[in-house]
Amino acid sequence: MNCRPADYESRSLNIYSLKISGLKLYLLQVFTKVFMGVYIMSKDWTRLNNGIALYHQKTSRYWWCRLKVDGEEYKFSTKTVDFDEASKIAYSQAIYAETNPEQSMLFSKSHTVKKVIPKAIADLRDETIKKKIHKQYIDRLENHIMPHFADKLIGRIHSKDLKDYFKLKKLVSQTTINTEKRAFRILFEYAHLNKLIKQSDIPAFPKIAKNKAQQRDYFTAEDLKVLMSNIEAWIEDTKNLKSMALRRNLKYQIYALANSGLRPGDELETIQYKHIFTKNHQYFARITGGKIHTEENYRDIPINDIFLEATKVGLNSLTYEKKFSWYKTDLRESEDFVFRMDNKKTYSSKRFEQYKAWLKKKGIHEFNEDQSLYSFRHTYITKQLLNNELPVAVLASQVGSSIIMIDKYYSKIVSEMKSDEFRNYAENFS
């Protein structure tokens, strides 16, 4: 059928009119959305007003919302594919979060343990300015609870999680258990006080029984030989200069731990250069961190040549020439930490586990899981007892323990060992 020219012209005009109408409608929609505070950036990202945005994730068909409340950014799924419905949910959650922060779902879903603990520690330090800082609680929060729970949501820690945590820790001291529980309470109290969780989110503590005391794991003479003869190869087996420096730092920490009986962590790492001094031709190190059982809040321990050489780790090679001569006047008042890098904690226990894993991967040696950086302390104490190098009372005082505890943990080990077990001990650290 042929169309008449008049019909053709009429239809063309109608189509043109429709296009004009569609353009007007589109412009009207854009104007309305801009006027209402909506600005479309793309089909997958839409910015609303008041710092609210809707967007799509590749792994979800729903609209997701990103908004800011008191400077903190929160993200959550609206659980709907409808844009208008998602917008309503986003606005309602923003308003509810500002007016009812304790009940808002945003807070319970956005605060992980590793984000909250640093804030709780800072708050604890501020609170204790006028009284003694509870270093043991900070240590448990920072070095035990935070690494374990890390990305766990603070509002999602339940009694079972606490029970599993203490079961994994295998704590044998009731004092340590109580300290750990108090650290958890500090964390939950902070979270609740700052409206990060509700009162009902704080879990009840399960009954925690201390584990039966175990014999201490030490390193045999063969273990020491493997550890010290391969550590340089491990240090060099990385292209990352910072990692290499941290590995070398661990080497010198091992030298110090194996020749002093100190506990790894704060007890060793809080030694400053000003804490190294001489008395009656003997070098000493003043211990101010970790477990201190004296009224003075420190203890002085004698250190041997190997320990003293290990303190070079933080010094420039030009600072010293011969044995002891590195200890110059400008260091005697230095507050720099000997065994830290940039005066920051090194977390060497974790790095030592990496070294063990490297030895296993290379097929050199496989250590049992209970042999850790702490085992150098046990090795030192065992060696001293076996060779009768120090009276037990003097040894206990030096390592920050008691005669009863040493007898409890080490007497059986020593009675079963050969007297020459640690022959040529010092050669491993030359």
Same domain, 376 and 251: yes
Same domain, 234 and 310: yes
Same domain, 302 and 155: no
- Whether 5 is covered by a domain: the verdict is no
The CATH number given to whatever domain includes residue 77 is 3.30.160
Same domain, 293 and 260: yes
Domain edge (last residue) among 102, 123, 157:
102
Same domain, 228 and 188: no
Same domain, 117 and 96: no
Output the CA–CA distances (angstroms, integers) from residue 249 to 345, 350, 351, in the order listed.
11, 13, 10
Q: How many angstroms separate the CA atoms of 251 and 351, rounded?
A: 10
For the full predicted model, state whether its pTM sits above 0.75. no
- Whether 8 is covered by a domain: the verdict is no
Same domain, 193 and 166: yes
Same domain, 80 and 124: no
CA pseudo-torsion sign 293, 296, 297, 302 = negative
- Whether 377 is covered by a domain: the verdict is yes
- Whether 175 is covered by a domain: the verdict is yes
Q: What is the pLDDT of residue 35?
A: 45
The CATH number given to whatever domain includes residue 342 is 1.10.443.10
- Whether 20 is covered by a domain: the verdict is no
- Whether 315 is covered by a domain: the verdict is yes
Same domain, 71 and 168: no
Question: CB count, 10 Å around CB of 295?
Answer: 6
DSSP 8-state assignment for residue 145:
I
pLDDT in tens, the chain (430 residues): 444 444 544 444 444 444 445 555 445 444 444 444 444 444 578 888 778 899 988 888 899 998 877 666 777 888 899 999 999 988 888 887 776 654 555 555 568 899 999 999 988 877 654 445 577 888 889 888 999 998 888 888 999 999 999 888 877 577 788 889 999 999 999 998 888 888 888 999 888 776 655 556 889 889 999 999 999 999 999 999 989 989 999 999 999 999 999 999 989 999 998 999 889 989 999 999 887 666 678 899 999 999 988 887 655 433 333 334 444 445 567 788 889 888 788 889 999 999 999 999 999 999 988 899 999 999 999 999 888 878 999 999 999 998 988 888 887 777 777 666 777 777 777 5
Return the exposure string of 91-101: e unless at least 16 CB atoms fall within 10 Å of the residue's CB, then b.
bebbeebeeee
Same domain, 170 and 235: no
H or E stretch at 13: helix 5-35
Domain extent, residue 181, equals: 113-201
H or E stretch at 5: helix 5-35
Q: What is the pLDDT of residue 199?
A: 87
- Whether 14 is covered by a domain: the verdict is no
Which token pair is 387? 């060779």
One-letter identity of residue 229: S
How many structural domains does the chain have? 3
- Whether 21 is covered by a domain: the verdict is no
Same domain, 225 and 191: no
Output the CA–CA distances (angstroms, integers) from residue 397 to 23, 287, 415, in the order listed.
88, 12, 22
Which token pair is 246? 């941290």
Q: What is the pLDDT of residue 331?
A: 59
Give 372-412 as a DSSP string: -TTHHHHHHHHHHHHTT-S-HHHHHHHHT--HHHHHHHHHH
CA 404 to chain centre: 33
Same domain, 194 and 268: no
Q: How many angstroms separate the CA atoms of 189 and 144, rounded?
A: 18
